[in-house]
Structure 1
Amino acid sequence: MTELTQEILQNYQIRKTKAQKTAFIELMQARFPELRVEAGGTPKSRNLVLGDVDTAKVVFAAHYDTCAVLPFPNFITPKNPMIFVLYNLLICIPLLAVMVAVCVGLMLLTDSFLVAWLGMLAVLAAFFWMLVGGRPNVHTVNDNTSGVITLCEILQAMTAEERQNAAFVFFDFEEAGMFGSALFYKKHKAEMKNKLLVNFDCVSDGDTLLIIRSKKAREAYGEAIEEAFGPAVEKTVRLEKSATTLYPSDQTQFPCHVAVAAMKRARFVGLYMDKIHTKHDTVFDERNIEYLTQSARRLTQKLL
């Protein structure tokens, strides 16, 4: 791992508030003077862009914003939607219980349906504030410091010719609703209509590397993607279709995309991701980053 990777891991894992993001942007501008900030939208996103999006053969992406710490993980099962739905329903049960308790309690105390209704709304608002605006998680190794580091490692490993044929974008506000990637697509819609975008999100915790390809990506770049993301030492690489794989992240904004994520495996559940959005998000497997760095270089070379 490079010096920049070590610095990000040690000092820049928290990138949630405006000030924290600004500190990270200043670090990146010091290392990559050509980096430019594309700002706009509501909330105001600050996407970081390197390279010429117009002429690039491929755009590599990752979101750099980080989440609030939660008492429960964001549990993702990309090939098992039933488990995903059941897990999220289980999370909703205590929320509903609290909302009902507040409603009944306020009705008994005030005999006012309006007050009870407002109390329920306040509980719901507090829950969403915890999800989006709560205390920043200080441990974000997998989500998505790993994606940020992957882009940085690719940038530093590429030759000058490879860099000329690739662009890099660090998206803002993925955790709040993918506002940064929406802004980027709106600004570069004509260029990105058929251009390949490869999004790295949560790639450092898991021995199965999931490569999820949209239909347009398979049709236009299928062979190059398969050759670039070939077998890995001590890792399993699975190429999947986006139509049959649930992975909500920034790549869904783009017609021609590949999403890359690291997964674990368990009986009955299948592939899964845990620990993200909690204090346990601390696993950083350098082998994943090294493999993805070389895969990104191979892909760029094949597109020259």
Structure 2
Amino acid sequence: MHGNNVSYVFLLGFPNLHSINILLFVFLLIIYCVTMCGNVLIITLVSINKNLHSPMYFFITQVSLLDILMTTDILPNLLHIILHDGGTMTLDACISQFYAFANAETSECLILTVMSYDRYVAICNPLRYSSIVNKPFCVKSVAVSWLLSFSMMSLNEIATRKLDFCGPNVVDHFFCDLTPILELSCSDTSLIQIQASIFGIIIIICPFTMIIVSYVYIITTILNIQSISGRQKAFSTCSSHLAVVCIFFGTLFSVYMVPTKEQLLTSRTTLSLLYTVVTPLLNPFIYSLRNKDFSEAFKKLKQN
């Protein structure tokens, strides 16, 4: 970077919660441990159990892997910030933290979209499911999701690192998000903001629209099933994915697609906690709870 007066940034974290810092630290540490254990357990169960070697569970392991990467990028540093009433990190590390997080979020958006297509084919075109959603399709779709997100975020990251940063060097957040980073710059950031908005359409609005279209077809097909038990069985195969989509995209829309206002700062921080901390915690429970395949695989693992 050139012409920078800022080499370090100070993250404020939660300056109004000094009185419950230790309690908050313990609470988030437990969340971190449970999140890691839950997602690692899902990856392990799918890897070692042949009954879970299907496209749907393969995609679930990818979501778990991304949740592990995202949580590890945010939570350890957040715990340090809470314990020390704020935290200092280099500007380079701050930018890297955001783009590592953005990579994971973008990949998860795309993989959740592929999962909706998987559910669409399974329910609306079951006879052709094994020929359409086969192993090459799964590997290619995941590889494309990872590469597309990495390519888009790399373009944005390169542009961000070329900015001049004159200060102040205080970030009023618990992690390095894009808006707080750009606020530290004295360069014209309009191009990056336009680029980020375009990418937001590509990675949030377009995938979400595709998911909605998939579920319109899925719900229409389910409603045409004659037996109640048949409807329940069909819906149960996509209810977990639908729950994750609602939580994940709901918080993303609230934070990134709603215009930033000063009075929304507190609510934005709370929403940021939802998608960086709570969603990765809930995903393993949503996918494994009421799932007989996971329950049986877990019982076998305990017996061994």
Is TM (by shorter chain) over 0.5? no
Higher strand share: 1
Higher helix share: 2
